[in-house]
């Protein structure tokens, strides 16, 4: 795992967008399409907005979700709403944002099938964006949640978190990806970033494969460690 420290959240987002664009062009040249998995929360919004201005082969790009709240269609809490809003200016066909079907009874199996159709069997995502919680969680892999121990599925439902449950990609899907890109900002992440970097498997984030992984952190999250970009 490599860690790069940038000045602030905006610089992290711009650096991430540039990396995603490079990976997209390489994936399309090599395999004809690019499959980007985006985590929920506020972390990816700046990155996706910056990505709109990058040289991305949008017609061959597909955006899938790492996690999603179990909420009714149209609920403002849905992560996919933020993804669509952030990419609204991109020439990305709307149907190429693949939302987790959280309103369906067979949601996990349906989404697993959608991933297989896009990325093979088993699905190999080109790039997975991950965030880091101040409690050490990533995706919807929460400390103490039994979903952390799911090994026979790529998609699962986690327990209650902030009053709701979430659907999530499991470690199996995250670890199989060609590359993992972490965005970590804010002083409340300093301790967990150090533990992630050290591969501390006692936190959920520390159990994600560190091969082909890059962390982009701002100075506050890094506690002023490392070079500045």
Contacts of 44 (CB under 8 A, 6+ apart): 38, 82, 83, 86, 129, 131, 183
Cα Rg of the chain (Å, integer): 16
* pTM, rounded to two decimals: 0.95
Contacts 24+ apart (CB under 8 A), 96-103: 96/61, 96/62, 96/63, 97/62, 97/63, 98/62, 98/63, 98/64, 98/65, 99/65, 99/68, 100/65, 100/67, 100/68, 100/155, 100/167, 102/68, 102/69, 102/70, 102/71, 102/78, 102/167, 103/72, 103/73
Burial of 101 (0-12, 13-18, 19+ CB in 10 A): middle
Domains of the chain are: 2-222 (3.40.50.1360)
- Per-residue confidence in pLDDT tens, the chain, 229 aa: 999 999 999 999 999 999 999 999 999 999 999 999 999 987 799 999 999 999 999 999 999 999 999 999 889 889 999 999 999 999 999 999 999 999 998 999 999 999 999 999 999 999 999 999 999 999 999 999 999 999 999 999 999 998 899 999 999 999 999 999 999 999 999 999 999 999 999 999 999 999 999 999 999 999 965 444 4
| Residue listed under structure tokens 């989404």 | 111
């Amino acid at each position: 795992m490599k860690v790069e420290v940038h000045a602030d959240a905006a610089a992290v987002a711009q650096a991430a967008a540039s990396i995603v664009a490079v990976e997209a062009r390489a994936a399309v040249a090599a395999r004809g399409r690019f499959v980007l998995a985006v985590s929920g929360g506020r972390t990816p919004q700046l990155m996706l907005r910056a990505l709109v201005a990058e040289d991305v082969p949008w017609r061959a790009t597909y955006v899938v979700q790492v996690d999603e709240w179990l909420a009714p269609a149209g609920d403002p809490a849905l992560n996919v709403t933020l993804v669509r809003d952030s990419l609204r200016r991109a020439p990305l066909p709307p149907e190429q944002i693949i939302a987790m079907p959280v309103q369906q009874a067979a949601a996990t199996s349906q989404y697993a099938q959608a991933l297989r159709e896009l990325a093979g069997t088993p699905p190999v995502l080109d790039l997975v964006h991950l965030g880091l919680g101040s409690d050490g969680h990533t995706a919807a892999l929460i400390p103490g949640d039994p979903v952390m121990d799911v090994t026979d599925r790529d998609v699962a439902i986690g327990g209650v978190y902030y009053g709701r449950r979430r659907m999530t990609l499991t470690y199996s899907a995250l670890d199989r990806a060609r590359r993992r890109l972490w965005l970590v900002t804010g002083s409340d992440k300093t301790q967990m970033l150090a533990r992630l970097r050290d591969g501390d498997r006692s936190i959920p984030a520390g159990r994600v494969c560190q091969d082909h992984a890059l962390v982009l952190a701002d100075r506050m999250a890094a506690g002023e460690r490392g070079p500045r970009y």
